[in-house]
């Protein structure tokens, strides 16, 4: 079992719809969770961080964390073609010396 798992996609959503991305992690003591966006041929950039259970909203993005079920999700509301990218879930794991462990990423394709 991978430490951080994501569906590789592609997740195809029509413009204006909600894109829902999920990530599960195996290390129960993980404390910090991050979503990075990576455009094709570019480097990852942070879009959301979440540290406690519940929802955190930032513009069109909402991160949701459920530590009991060991999953973190990202919702993209009113999806735009510019949201087409790969979204990487990252978990800060004590077992990895508090360094980030990344999932394989979910490719999102927003169709006009």
Site residues, another protein (CB under 8 A): 4, 8, 32-34, 42-46, 49, 88, 90, 92, 96-105
Nearer to another protein, 39 or 78 (CB): 39
Interatomic CA distance for residues 86 and 81, integer angstroms = 13
Minimal distance, residue 87 CB to another protein, in Å = 11
State which residue, 17 or 56, has the beta carbon closest to another protein: 56
| 16 vs 39, beta carbon nearer another protein | 39
Give min distance, CB of 65 to another protein, in A: 13
- Closer to another protein at the Cβ: 28 or 112? 28
Cα–Cα distance, 92 to 8 (Å, whole number): 21
The string of DSSP letters for 45-102 reads: EEEEEE-SSEEEEETTEEEEEETTTTEEEEEESS--GGG-EEEEEEEEEGGGTTEEEE
Work out how close the CB of 89 gets to another protein at its nearest, in angstroms, rounded to a whole number.
9
């Amino acid at each position: 079992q991978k430490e951080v798992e994501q569906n590789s996609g592609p997740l195809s959503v029509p413009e204006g719809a909600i894109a829902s991305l999920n990530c599960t992690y195996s290390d129960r003591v993980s404390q910090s969770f991050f979503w990075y966006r990576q455009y094709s041929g570019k480097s990852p950039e942070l879009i959301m961080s979440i540290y406690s259970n519940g929802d955190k909203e930032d513009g069109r993005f909402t991160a949701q964390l459920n530590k009991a079920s060991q999953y973190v999700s990202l919702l993209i509301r009113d999806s735009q073609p510019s949201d087409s990218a790969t979204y990487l879930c990252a978990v800060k794991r004590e077992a990895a010396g508090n360094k980030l462990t990344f999932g394989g990423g979910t490719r999102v394709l927003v169709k006009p």
